[in-house]
Amino acid sequence: MKELLGKLKPINIFYGENRLELQKSLHFIKDSLITKGMEAFNYSLYDCRENQLEIALSSSNELPCFSATRLVIADNVDAIKDKEGEMILEYIGNPSPSTILILIYRENPDKRTKIFKEIEKKGFTVSFDQIKQSRIPDWISAFILERKKNIKFEHAFFIAELIGNDLEKLTNELDKLLLFVGDRIDITLEDIEKIIPDIKINNIFELIDAI
């Protein structure tokens, strides 16, 4: 994430299916750039579904208060109208050097548009791609280990096969599992069966036998 922070420009596009990593990156950027207690002056979040793009661009032209940088996030840029697109192009031509403006697309943007091409040329774009299914068991194992718990690889594989590579859903299920385990270090098959919904113990053994 530190590498991402160093690549930011006055105007940026964030997009991709991996919403968990995208949100984590936004939190890291905010915590890194905005001094605690100064959020009300130097940080703004706007939703383009509520016709707030114009306000976001206006806010981006404001000077930061007792800071070198102002952070403005415009979410759901997919929802903008043609007229608002022209506003973005106008801002790209003369962005505020003291503001980091991040445009978030909920869907993958059309890279053929003038907005994307101009920001790709003058700003920074980054795609938060979903982790491949084959890497999910390792991701689960690392997630559990970071919280000072143990899980066998075949159990992580089983969870991955059942839930898939939706990291937000995986995180929710693993958090519930960790809460259930409590102070115990090792996560068992029985724990998984009790916590993850619609799971039968015979399905567990069928999947493990298939590894």
pLDDT tens string 111-164: 999 999 999 999 999 999 888 899 999 999 999 999 999 999 999 998 998 888
pLDDT of residue 209: 53
Backbone angles phi, psi at 127, to 5 degrees: -105, 130
Residue 199 scores a pLDDT above 80: no
Residue 76 scores a pLDDT above 50: yes
Residue 207 scores a pLDDT above 90: no
Rounded to whole angstroms, the Cα distance separating 195 from 176 reads 7
Rounded to whole angstroms, the Cα distance separating 128 from 30 reads 18
pLDDT of residue 104: 97
Structural element, H or E, at residue 71: strand 70-75
pLDDT-based confidence at residue 166 (cuts at 50, 70, 90):
confident
Residue 200 scores a pLDDT above 80: no
Give pLDDT tens digits for 20-58: 899 999 999 999 999 999 999 999 999 999 999 999 999
Q: pTM value?
A: 0.76
Angle at 13 between CA 133 and CA 27, to 5 degrees: 70
Rounded to whole angstroms, the Cα distance separating 195 from 189 reads 10
Q: For the residues 54-65, what does the mean pLDDT come to?
A: 96
Q: For the residues 193-199, what does the mean pLDDT come to?
A: 73
pLDDT of residue 201: 45
Between 29 and 165, the higher pLDDT residue: 29
Tokens in use for 169?
A: 């859903």
CB of 192 closer than 8 Å to CB of 204: yes
CB of 97 closer than 8 Å to CB of 123: no
Query: In this prediction, what percent of the chain has a pLDDT beyond 90?
Result: 76
Between 189 and 77, the higher pLDDT residue: 77
Residue 197 scores a pLDDT above 70: no
Residue 106 scores a pLDDT above 50: yes
Residue 211 scores a pLDDT above 90: no
